[in-house]
Structure 1
Amino acid sequence: MPNNQTVPHARAPSRASALRGLLGPLRDALREALEAATGAECAGCGAVGQGLCGACRSALAPRVHRVTTPAGRAVHAGAPFAGAMARAVRAVKEEGRTALIRDLGPAMADAVAAALAAGDGRGIRVPVALVPVPTSRAAFRRRGFRVPDLLCRRIGAVEPVLVAARRIADQRGLDRRARVRNVAGSMRARRPGAGRAVIVVDDVVTTGATMDEAVRALEAQGWCVIGCAATAATPRSHDASRR
Protein backbone atom coordinates (compact mmCIF):
# COMPACT_ATOMS: atom_id res chain seq x y z
CA MET A 1 0.00 0.00 0.00
CA PRO A 2 1.62 3.31 -1.05
CA ASN A 3 2.23 5.96 1.56
CA ASN A 4 -0.50 8.22 0.22
CA GLN A 5 -3.22 5.60 0.53
CA THR A 6 -5.28 4.73 3.56
CA VAL A 7 -6.38 1.49 5.10
CA PRO A 8 -9.70 0.62 3.41
CA HIS A 9 -12.72 1.02 5.62
CA ALA A 10 -16.46 1.05 5.35
CA ARG A 11 -17.46 3.91 7.62
CA ALA A 12 -17.95 7.40 6.26
CA PRO A 13 -16.07 9.98 8.33
CA SER A 14 -18.13 12.05 10.76
CA ARG A 15 -18.29 15.83 10.45
CA ALA A 16 -16.00 16.15 13.45
CA SER A 17 -13.38 13.80 12.02
CA ALA A 18 -13.62 15.50 8.62
CA LEU A 19 -13.01 18.87 10.29
CA ARG A 20 -10.00 17.45 12.14
CA GLY A 21 -8.69 16.17 8.82
CA LEU A 22 -8.85 19.68 7.36
CA LEU A 23 -7.44 21.49 10.38
CA GLY A 24 -4.60 19.04 11.03
CA PRO A 25 -2.45 19.97 7.99
CA LEU A 26 -3.12 23.67 8.56
CA ARG A 27 -2.08 23.39 12.20
CA ASP A 28 1.10 21.53 11.23
CA ALA A 29 1.96 24.13 8.56
CA LEU A 30 1.48 26.98 11.04
CA ARG A 31 3.62 25.22 13.63
CA GLU A 32 6.40 24.63 11.10
CA ALA A 33 6.28 28.28 10.02
CA LEU A 34 6.53 29.35 13.67
CA GLU A 35 9.48 27.01 14.22
CA ALA A 36 11.30 28.50 11.22
CA ALA A 37 10.52 32.07 12.29
CA THR A 38 11.75 31.51 15.83
CA GLY A 39 14.88 29.62 14.81
CA ALA A 40 13.73 26.23 16.03
CA GLU A 41 16.30 23.47 15.98
CA CYS A 42 16.00 20.48 13.67
CA ALA A 43 14.58 17.60 15.70
CA GLY A 44 17.05 15.22 14.09
CA CYS A 45 20.42 17.00 14.15
CA GLY A 46 19.90 20.28 16.00
CA ALA A 47 20.49 22.58 13.01
CA VAL A 48 18.87 25.98 13.55
CA GLY A 49 16.15 27.30 11.28
CA GLN A 50 13.67 24.52 10.62
CA GLY A 51 11.71 21.81 12.36
CA LEU A 52 13.39 19.04 10.36
CA CYS A 53 16.19 19.52 7.85
CA GLY A 54 16.26 17.77 4.48
CA ALA A 55 18.93 15.27 5.50
CA CYS A 56 17.07 14.21 8.62
CA ARG A 57 13.77 14.04 6.75
CA SER A 58 15.44 11.67 4.30
CA ALA A 59 16.75 9.62 7.23
CA LEU A 60 13.14 8.99 8.29
CA ALA A 61 12.42 7.12 5.06
CA PRO A 62 10.70 3.78 5.75
CA ARG A 63 12.87 0.71 6.33
CA VAL A 64 10.21 -1.81 7.22
CA HIS A 65 11.35 -4.82 9.20
CA ARG A 66 9.78 -7.36 11.50
CA VAL A 67 10.39 -7.96 15.19
CA THR A 68 8.80 -10.49 17.51
CA THR A 69 7.06 -10.04 20.86
CA PRO A 70 7.61 -12.21 23.94
CA ALA A 71 4.58 -14.25 22.82
CA GLY A 72 6.16 -14.79 19.39
CA ARG A 73 3.83 -12.38 17.61
CA ALA A 74 5.16 -10.53 14.56
CA VAL A 75 5.25 -6.74 14.64
CA HIS A 76 6.00 -4.79 11.47
CA ALA A 77 8.02 -1.66 12.23
CA GLY A 78 8.52 1.21 9.82
CA ALA A 79 12.14 1.85 10.78
CA PRO A 80 14.70 1.13 13.49
CA PHE A 81 14.34 3.32 16.57
CA ALA A 82 17.73 4.95 16.20
CA GLY A 83 19.38 8.13 14.91
CA ALA A 84 17.11 10.80 13.46
CA MET A 85 14.05 8.56 13.84
CA ALA A 86 14.56 8.15 17.58
CA ARG A 87 15.27 11.85 18.06
CA ALA A 88 12.17 12.85 16.06
CA VAL A 89 9.91 10.55 18.07
CA ARG A 90 11.33 11.89 21.32
CA ALA A 91 10.80 15.46 20.10
CA VAL A 92 7.10 14.67 19.61
CA LYS A 93 6.70 12.94 22.96
CA GLU A 94 8.93 15.08 25.15
CA GLU A 95 8.76 18.50 23.47
CA GLY A 96 5.24 18.42 22.02
CA ARG A 97 6.44 18.94 18.42
CA THR A 98 3.42 17.24 16.87
CA ALA A 99 4.09 18.73 13.42
CA LEU A 100 6.69 15.97 13.10
CA ILE A 101 3.87 13.40 12.97
CA ARG A 102 3.61 14.21 9.26
CA ASP A 103 7.25 13.17 8.77
CA LEU A 104 6.80 9.99 10.80
CA GLY A 105 3.69 9.10 8.80
CA PRO A 106 5.37 7.29 5.85
CA ALA A 107 7.16 4.83 8.15
CA MET A 108 3.92 4.16 10.00
CA ALA A 109 1.93 3.78 6.78
CA ASP A 110 4.40 1.27 5.33
CA ALA A 111 4.40 -0.73 8.57
CA VAL A 112 0.59 -0.89 8.51
CA ALA A 113 0.71 -1.91 4.83
CA ALA A 114 3.07 -4.77 5.69
CA ALA A 115 0.84 -5.92 8.55
CA LEU A 116 -2.21 -5.73 6.28
CA ALA A 117 -0.45 -7.76 3.59
CA ALA A 118 0.45 -10.43 6.15
CA GLY A 119 -3.19 -10.56 7.23
CA ASP A 120 -4.36 -10.90 3.64
CA GLY A 121 -1.95 -13.80 3.29
CA ARG A 122 -3.98 -15.63 5.95
CA GLY A 123 -7.21 -15.06 4.06
CA ILE A 124 -8.29 -11.93 5.98
CA ARG A 125 -10.05 -9.24 3.96
CA VAL A 126 -10.92 -5.60 4.57
CA PRO A 127 -12.50 -3.54 6.10
CA VAL A 128 -9.71 -3.23 8.64
CA ALA A 129 -9.45 -0.57 11.33
CA LEU A 130 -6.46 0.64 13.34
CA VAL A 131 -6.50 0.29 17.12
CA PRO A 132 -3.94 2.54 18.87
CA VAL A 133 -2.27 1.28 22.03
CA PRO A 134 -3.57 3.44 24.89
CA THR A 135 -1.41 6.10 26.48
CA SER A 136 -1.29 6.27 30.26
CA ARG A 137 -3.40 8.94 31.92
CA ALA A 138 -0.28 10.57 33.34
CA ALA A 139 1.37 10.78 29.91
CA PHE A 140 -1.79 12.22 28.37
CA ARG A 141 -2.08 14.87 31.08
CA ARG A 142 1.57 15.79 30.57
CA ARG A 143 1.45 15.96 26.76
CA GLY A 144 -2.17 16.76 25.97
CA PHE A 145 -2.22 14.24 23.12
CA ARG A 146 -1.70 10.54 22.39
CA VAL A 147 1.06 9.78 19.89
CA PRO A 148 -0.34 6.45 18.57
CA ASP A 149 -3.72 8.13 17.96
CA LEU A 150 -2.14 10.99 16.00
CA LEU A 151 -0.23 8.51 13.83
CA CYS A 152 -3.32 6.38 13.17
CA ARG A 153 -5.43 9.34 12.09
CA ARG A 154 -3.04 10.09 9.24
CA ILE A 155 -3.49 6.60 7.81
CA GLY A 156 -7.01 5.20 8.08
CA ALA A 157 -10.07 4.35 10.13
CA VAL A 158 -9.36 4.44 13.86
CA GLU A 159 -11.07 2.37 16.57
CA PRO A 160 -9.81 3.77 19.92
CA VAL A 161 -11.38 0.95 21.91
CA LEU A 162 -8.42 0.05 24.14
CA VAL A 163 -8.22 1.72 27.54
CA ALA A 164 -6.09 1.24 30.63
CA ALA A 165 -7.55 -1.20 33.15
CA ARG A 166 -5.02 -0.39 35.86
CA ARG A 167 -1.87 1.60 36.43
CA ILE A 168 1.51 0.14 35.55
CA ALA A 169 5.03 0.97 36.66
CA ASP A 170 7.37 2.88 34.34
CA GLN A 171 8.66 0.37 31.78
CA ARG A 172 12.03 2.07 31.44
CA GLY A 173 14.79 0.04 33.01
CA LEU A 174 12.76 -3.18 33.11
CA ASP A 175 14.00 -6.27 31.32
CA ARG A 176 11.86 -8.36 28.94
CA ARG A 177 10.32 -10.61 31.60
CA ALA A 178 9.66 -7.74 33.99
CA ARG A 179 7.89 -5.80 31.25
CA VAL A 180 5.61 -8.76 30.54
CA ARG A 181 4.66 -9.00 34.22
CA ASN A 182 4.24 -5.24 34.51
CA VAL A 183 1.68 -4.91 31.70
CA ALA A 184 -0.21 -8.19 32.22
CA GLY A 185 -3.92 -7.44 32.56
CA SER A 186 -3.39 -3.69 32.23
CA MET A 187 -5.74 -3.10 29.25
CA ARG A 188 -9.32 -3.78 28.29
CA ALA A 189 -11.51 -3.20 25.25
CA ARG A 190 -14.46 -0.91 25.88
CA ARG A 191 -16.83 -2.86 23.65
CA PRO A 192 -17.09 -6.21 21.84
CA GLY A 193 -15.54 -6.49 18.40
CA ALA A 194 -17.92 -9.10 16.94
CA GLY A 195 -15.10 -10.47 14.81
CA ARG A 196 -14.10 -7.17 13.21
CA ALA A 197 -10.56 -7.24 11.76
CA VAL A 198 -8.10 -4.74 13.22
CA ILE A 199 -4.40 -3.91 13.28
CA VAL A 200 -2.87 -2.81 16.59
CA VAL A 201 -0.65 0.27 16.30
CA ASP A 202 1.96 1.78 18.61
CA ASP A 203 4.58 4.47 18.12
CA VAL A 204 7.61 2.49 19.32
CA VAL A 205 8.07 -1.19 20.16
CA THR A 206 10.84 -2.15 22.57
CA THR A 207 10.26 -5.72 23.76
CA GLY A 208 6.71 -6.06 22.44
CA ALA A 209 5.18 -6.86 25.84
CA THR A 210 2.74 -3.95 25.54
CA MET A 211 1.68 -5.13 22.08
CA ASP A 212 1.00 -8.64 23.43
CA GLU A 213 -1.20 -7.20 26.17
CA ALA A 214 -3.11 -5.07 23.66
CA VAL A 215 -3.81 -8.10 21.48
CA ARG A 216 -4.92 -10.14 24.51
CA ALA A 217 -7.38 -7.46 25.60
CA LEU A 218 -8.86 -7.12 22.11
CA GLU A 219 -9.21 -10.83 21.47
CA ALA A 220 -10.88 -11.27 24.86
CA GLN A 221 -13.66 -9.03 23.56
CA GLY A 222 -14.01 -10.71 20.19
CA TRP A 223 -11.85 -8.46 17.99
CA CYS A 224 -9.91 -10.22 15.23
CA VAL A 225 -6.33 -8.93 15.39
CA ILE A 226 -4.70 -9.61 12.02
CA GLY A 227 -1.44 -7.80 12.65
CA CYS A 228 0.62 -5.33 14.67
CA ALA A 229 2.49 -2.26 13.43
CA ALA A 230 4.74 0.44 14.87
CA THR A 231 6.50 3.49 13.53
CA ALA A 232 9.80 2.20 14.87
CA ALA A 233 11.27 -0.66 16.85
CA THR A 234 14.31 -0.79 19.09
CA PRO A 235 17.03 -2.59 17.12
CA ARG A 236 17.57 -6.21 18.13
CA SER A 237 20.26 -8.48 16.78
CA HIS A 238 17.89 -11.47 16.55
CA ASP A 239 15.11 -9.65 14.68
CA ALA A 240 16.69 -8.56 11.42
CA SER A 241 14.21 -9.65 8.74
CA ARG A 242 13.48 -6.81 6.33
CA ARG A 243 11.05 -6.14 3.56
Structure 2
Amino acid sequence: MLGLLDLLLPSACVGCGGRGASFCAGCLGVLTGAPARRGPRPGPAGLPDCWSAAPYEGAVRTAIVAYKERGAVTLAGVLAEALTVTAVAAARVPGHGAWAGGRFAVVPVPSSRRSVRARGHDAVGRLAVLLTRRLRALGLDARPWPALRHARGVADQAGLSSTERLANLKGSLQVGPAAKSPPARAALLVDDVVTTGATLAEAAGALRAAGVAVPAAVTVGATRRISWKTLR
Protein backbone atom coordinates (compact mmCIF):
# COMPACT_ATOMS: atom_id res chain seq x y z
CA MET A 1 0.00 0.00 0.00
CA LEU A 2 1.07 3.58 -0.60
CA GLY A 3 2.15 5.63 2.39
CA LEU A 4 -0.34 7.78 4.32
CA LEU A 5 1.30 11.01 3.19
CA ASP A 6 0.91 9.93 -0.44
CA LEU A 7 -2.83 9.69 0.13
CA LEU A 8 -3.19 12.98 2.04
CA LEU A 9 -0.86 15.31 0.15
CA PRO A 10 -0.78 16.19 -3.57
CA SER A 11 2.04 14.40 -5.32
CA ALA A 12 3.24 13.36 -8.75
CA CYS A 13 2.89 9.86 -10.20
CA VAL A 14 6.25 8.10 -10.27
CA GLY A 15 5.31 6.44 -13.54
CA CYS A 16 4.05 9.32 -15.70
CA GLY A 17 4.63 12.47 -13.66
CA GLY A 18 0.95 13.39 -13.53
CA ARG A 19 -0.39 15.11 -10.42
CA GLY A 20 -2.28 13.03 -7.89
CA ALA A 21 -1.39 9.67 -6.38
CA SER A 22 2.26 8.59 -6.32
CA PHE A 23 1.29 5.82 -8.76
CA CYS A 24 -1.79 6.70 -10.79
CA ALA A 25 -4.59 4.40 -11.93
CA GLY A 26 -3.42 4.53 -15.53
CA CYS A 27 0.11 3.43 -14.70
CA LEU A 28 -1.25 0.78 -12.35
CA GLY A 29 -3.30 -0.59 -15.23
CA VAL A 30 -0.18 -0.81 -17.40
CA LEU A 31 1.67 -2.57 -14.59
CA THR A 32 -0.99 -5.12 -13.70
CA GLY A 33 -3.16 -5.44 -16.81
CA ALA A 34 -1.23 -7.90 -18.96
CA PRO A 35 0.63 -10.63 -17.04
CA ALA A 36 2.13 -13.07 -19.53
CA ARG A 37 4.88 -15.56 -20.24
CA ARG A 38 7.85 -13.44 -21.25
CA GLY A 39 10.87 -15.62 -20.84
CA PRO A 40 13.91 -15.43 -23.13
CA ARG A 41 13.78 -17.72 -26.17
CA PRO A 42 16.10 -19.44 -26.34
CA GLY A 43 16.71 -19.43 -22.62
CA PRO A 44 19.56 -20.93 -20.62
CA ALA A 45 19.40 -24.55 -19.53
CA GLY A 46 17.38 -25.04 -16.37
CA LEU A 47 15.38 -21.84 -16.72
CA PRO A 48 11.92 -22.13 -15.11
CA ASP A 49 8.81 -21.03 -16.96
CA CYS A 50 9.14 -17.23 -16.77
CA TRP A 51 6.19 -14.91 -16.31
CA SER A 52 6.24 -11.13 -15.90
CA ALA A 53 3.66 -8.48 -15.16
CA ALA A 54 4.71 -6.16 -17.99
CA PRO A 55 7.52 -5.18 -20.36
CA TYR A 56 10.40 -3.38 -18.66
CA GLU A 57 9.82 0.01 -20.23
CA GLY A 58 8.06 3.33 -19.64
CA ALA A 59 6.21 3.68 -16.36
CA VAL A 60 7.04 0.11 -15.36
CA ARG A 61 10.79 0.64 -15.69
CA THR A 62 10.57 4.01 -13.93
CA ALA A 63 8.68 2.47 -10.99
CA ILE A 64 11.09 -0.45 -10.60
CA VAL A 65 14.15 1.82 -10.69
CA ALA A 66 12.56 4.28 -8.24
CA TYR A 67 11.71 1.47 -5.84
CA LYS A 68 14.93 -0.49 -6.12
CA GLU A 69 17.56 2.21 -6.54
CA ARG A 70 16.04 5.45 -5.22
CA GLY A 71 14.40 4.34 -2.01
CA ALA A 72 10.76 4.73 -3.10
CA VAL A 73 9.71 1.88 -0.81
CA THR A 74 6.06 3.01 -0.83
CA LEU A 75 5.92 1.44 -4.30
CA ALA A 76 6.44 -2.03 -2.81
CA GLY A 77 2.69 -2.54 -2.56
CA VAL A 78 1.90 -1.89 -6.21
CA LEU A 79 4.88 -3.93 -7.40
CA ALA A 80 3.82 -6.81 -5.14
CA GLU A 81 0.32 -6.57 -6.56
CA ALA A 82 1.80 -6.89 -10.05
CA LEU A 83 3.66 -10.01 -8.95
CA THR A 84 0.46 -11.39 -7.43
CA VAL A 85 -1.63 -11.09 -10.59
CA THR A 86 1.27 -12.58 -12.53
CA ALA A 87 1.60 -15.56 -10.18
CA VAL A 88 -2.15 -16.18 -10.34
CA ALA A 89 -2.04 -16.10 -14.15
CA ALA A 90 0.88 -18.55 -14.21
CA ALA A 91 -0.91 -20.83 -11.75
CA ARG A 92 -3.70 -21.37 -14.26
CA VAL A 93 -1.34 -22.98 -16.78
CA PRO A 94 -1.65 -26.77 -17.01
CA GLY A 95 1.41 -28.51 -15.62
CA HIS A 96 2.04 -26.00 -12.86
CA GLY A 97 0.17 -28.05 -10.30
CA ALA A 98 3.48 -28.87 -8.61
CA TRP A 99 3.18 -25.51 -6.88
CA ALA A 100 -0.19 -23.98 -7.70
CA GLY A 101 -2.17 -27.01 -6.55
CA GLY A 102 -0.62 -27.42 -3.12
CA ARG A 103 1.91 -26.00 -0.69
CA PHE A 104 4.82 -24.16 -2.28
CA ALA A 105 7.71 -21.96 -1.21
CA VAL A 106 8.14 -18.37 -2.39
CA VAL A 107 11.86 -17.76 -2.88
CA PRO A 108 13.36 -14.36 -3.72
CA VAL A 109 16.50 -14.06 -5.81
CA PRO A 110 18.93 -12.55 -3.29
CA SER A 111 20.73 -9.25 -3.62
CA SER A 112 24.33 -9.06 -2.50
CA ARG A 113 25.00 -7.64 0.94
CA ARG A 114 26.80 -4.73 -0.71
CA SER A 115 23.73 -3.90 -2.81
CA VAL A 116 21.43 -4.09 0.21
CA ARG A 117 23.69 -1.73 2.13
CA ALA A 118 23.93 0.70 -0.78
CA ARG A 119 20.17 0.76 -1.39
CA GLY A 120 19.18 0.69 2.26
CA HIS A 121 16.71 -2.17 1.77
CA ASP A 122 16.32 -5.69 0.39
CA ALA A 123 14.17 -4.84 -2.62
CA VAL A 124 13.26 -8.30 -3.91
CA GLY A 125 13.10 -9.83 -0.44
CA ARG A 126 10.46 -7.27 0.58
CA LEU A 127 8.41 -7.98 -2.56
CA ALA A 128 8.55 -11.73 -1.91
CA VAL A 129 7.16 -11.26 1.62
CA LEU A 130 4.29 -9.12 0.34
CA LEU A 131 3.61 -11.53 -2.53
CA THR A 132 3.41 -14.45 -0.11
CA ARG A 133 0.87 -12.63 2.06
CA ARG A 134 -1.29 -11.78 -0.94
CA LEU A 135 -1.22 -15.32 -2.31
CA ARG A 136 -2.19 -16.73 1.08
CA ALA A 137 -5.06 -14.22 1.26
CA LEU A 138 -6.25 -15.67 -2.05
CA GLY A 139 -6.27 -19.17 -0.58
CA LEU A 140 -2.97 -20.44 -2.00
CA ASP A 141 -0.68 -22.30 0.40
CA ALA A 142 2.38 -20.10 -0.12
CA ARG A 143 5.24 -20.24 2.38
CA PRO A 144 8.10 -17.70 2.51
CA TRP A 145 11.55 -19.25 2.19
CA PRO A 146 14.42 -16.75 1.69
CA ALA A 147 16.90 -19.60 1.44
CA LEU A 148 19.27 -18.51 -1.33
CA ARG A 149 22.62 -16.93 -0.55
CA HIS A 150 25.60 -15.77 -2.59
CA ALA A 151 28.36 -18.37 -2.51
CA ARG A 152 30.88 -16.03 -4.14
CA GLY A 153 31.17 -12.61 -5.68
CA VAL A 154 30.26 -11.89 -9.29
CA ALA A 155 31.16 -9.17 -11.77
CA ASP A 156 28.71 -6.44 -12.75
CA GLN A 157 26.25 -7.98 -15.23
CA ALA A 158 25.70 -4.76 -17.21
CA GLY A 159 26.96 -5.10 -20.76
CA LEU A 160 27.58 -8.85 -20.58
CA SER A 161 26.20 -11.19 -23.23
CA SER A 162 23.94 -14.12 -22.36
CA THR A 163 26.89 -16.52 -22.48
CA GLU A 164 29.05 -14.21 -20.36
CA ARG A 165 26.27 -13.82 -17.78
CA LEU A 166 25.93 -17.57 -17.44
CA ALA A 167 29.67 -17.97 -16.90
CA ASN A 168 29.73 -15.05 -14.47
CA LEU A 169 26.92 -16.51 -12.35
CA LYS A 170 27.82 -20.21 -12.48
CA GLY A 171 28.05 -21.54 -8.93
CA SER A 172 27.32 -18.14 -7.41
CA LEU A 173 24.13 -19.07 -5.54
CA GLN A 174 23.35 -21.77 -3.02
CA VAL A 175 20.83 -22.64 -0.35
CA GLY A 176 22.44 -21.08 2.69
CA PRO A 177 23.61 -23.23 5.58
CA ALA A 178 21.36 -21.25 7.93
CA ALA A 179 18.23 -22.00 5.89
CA LYS A 180 15.72 -24.30 7.53
CA SER A 181 14.34 -27.33 5.73
CA PRO A 182 12.27 -26.45 2.66
CA PRO A 183 8.64 -25.77 3.61
CA ALA A 184 7.50 -27.44 0.39
CA ARG A 185 8.74 -29.62 -2.45
CA ALA A 186 8.22 -26.91 -5.07
CA ALA A 187 9.12 -23.23 -5.23
CA LEU A 188 8.05 -20.11 -7.06
CA LEU A 189 11.08 -17.91 -7.80
CA VAL A 190 10.71 -14.13 -7.52
CA ASP A 191 12.82 -11.33 -9.02
CA ASP A 192 12.26 -7.77 -10.17
CA VAL A 193 13.31 -8.08 -13.84
CA VAL A 194 14.22 -10.90 -16.22
CA THR A 195 16.73 -10.14 -18.97
CA THR A 196 18.64 -13.15 -20.32
CA GLY A 197 17.34 -15.54 -17.65
CA ALA A 198 20.84 -16.35 -16.38
CA THR A 199 20.14 -15.28 -12.80
CA LEU A 200 16.85 -17.18 -12.59
CA ALA A 201 18.46 -20.30 -14.08
CA GLU A 202 21.29 -20.18 -11.53
CA ALA A 203 18.83 -19.65 -8.66
CA ALA A 204 16.65 -22.53 -9.86
CA GLY A 205 19.69 -24.80 -10.12
CA ALA A 206 20.66 -24.06 -6.52
CA LEU A 207 17.15 -24.91 -5.32
CA ARG A 208 17.00 -28.11 -7.34
CA ALA A 209 20.33 -29.15 -5.84
CA ALA A 210 18.57 -28.89 -2.47
CA GLY A 211 15.77 -31.16 -3.68
CA VAL A 212 13.21 -28.44 -4.47
CA ALA A 213 11.42 -28.33 -7.85
CA VAL A 214 11.18 -24.93 -9.56
CA PRO A 215 8.47 -25.01 -12.22
CA ALA A 216 7.96 -21.25 -12.52
CA ALA A 217 9.39 -17.79 -11.84
CA VAL A 218 7.65 -14.42 -11.71
CA THR A 219 9.08 -10.95 -12.20
CA VAL A 220 7.64 -7.46 -12.37
CA GLY A 221 9.29 -6.59 -15.67
CA ALA A 222 10.88 -8.31 -18.67
CA THR A 223 13.26 -6.63 -21.12
CA ARG A 224 12.39 -6.44 -24.80
CA ARG A 225 15.94 -7.04 -26.02
CA ILE A 226 15.19 -10.75 -25.95
CA SER A 227 12.64 -12.76 -27.88
CA TRP A 228 9.41 -13.60 -26.06
CA LYS A 229 7.05 -16.49 -26.43
CA THR A 230 3.92 -15.00 -24.91
CA LEU A 231 1.01 -16.95 -23.49
CA ARG A 232 -1.90 -14.96 -22.03
TM-score by length of 2: 0.82
Identify the match of residue 154 of structure 1 among 116, 130, 145. 130
Task: Please state if 1:174 is matched with 2:160.
Answer: yes
| Inter-partner Cα distance in structure 2 for 1:123 and 1:94 | 35
Match of 1:61 among 14, 26, 32: 32
Q: Deviations over 1:10-35 (max 9, x none)?
A: xxxxxxxxxxxxxxx5xx423524xx
How do 1:129-208 residues align onto structure 2 when only pairs under 5 Å count?
129-156=105-132, 157-190=143-176, 191=179, 193=182, 196-208=185-197
CA pair 195-63 structure 1, distance change in 2 beyond 3 A? same
Q: Does 1:45 align with 2:16?
A: yes
1:194/1:223 contact within 8 Å kept: no
The Cα shift of 1:93 comes to 1.1
Task: Give 5+ residue unaligned stretches, structure 1.
Answer: 1-24
The correspondence for 2:68, drawn from 93, 96, 105, is 93
Report how far residue 104 of structure 1 moved: 1.7
2:57 aligned to 82, 85, 91, which one?
A: 82
Code of the aligned partner of 1:82: E
Structure 1 residue 195: deviation in Å? Answer: 6.3
1:130: Cα distance to partner? 0.5
**Structure 1 residues 40 and 168, CA gap change in structure 2 (3 angstroms):** farther
Residues in 1 aligned to 2:27 and 2:92: alpha-carbon distance in whole angstroms: 29
Q: 1 CA distance for matches of 2:213 and 2:157?
A: 27
Query: For the aligned residues, what is the CA RMSD?
Result: 2.2
- Higher RCO (CA-CA < 8 Å; seq separation 6+): 2
1:70 is matched with which residue? 44
For 1:127, which of 91, 94, 103 is the aligned residue?
A: 103
| Offset at residue 204 of structure 1 (A) | 0.6
Which stretch has the larger CA shift, 210-219 or 221-230? 221-230
What's the CA shift for 1:237?
5.7
How high is the TM-score relative to the length of structure 1? 0.79
Residue deviations 1:89-132 (CA, integer Å, cap 9, x gap)? 011012111111212223211222234334x6255231012000
C-alpha distance after superposition, 1:142-193 (max 9, x if no partner) = 1122222222222223100001111111111111111111111110002454
Worse overlay, 155-164 or 57-66 = 57-66
Match of 1:170, as an amino acid? D
Judge which range, 57-66 or 161-170, deviates more.
57-66
Q: Give the 3-state SS of the residue equivalent to 2:89 in structure 1.
A: helix
For 2:202 and 2:63, locate their aligned partners in 1 and report how far apart those are by CA, in whole Å: 26
Q: Distance in 1 between matches of 2:113 and 2:57?
A: 27
Give, in whole Å, the separation in 2 of the partners of 1:115 and 1:71.
20
- Distance across 1 between alignment mates of 2:33 and 2:144: 22
- 1:50 is displaced (CA, Å) by 3.9
Change (3 A) 1:61 1:114: closer
> Compared with structure 1, are the counterparts of its residues 162 and 53 closer, same or farther at alpha carbon in structure 2 (3 Å cutoff)?
same
Q: Identity across aligned pairs (percent)?
A: 36
How far apart are the structure 1 equivalents of 2:25 and 2:35? 21
> Which residue of the other structure, out of 110, 113, 125, is the alignment partner of 2:85?
110
State the partner residue of 1:29: 3
**How far apart in 2 are the matches of 1:104 and 1:232?**
10
Secondary structure, counterpart of 2:220 in structure 1:
strand
Report if the CA contact (8 A) 1:112-1:229 is conserved: yes
Output the amino acid matched with 2:22: G
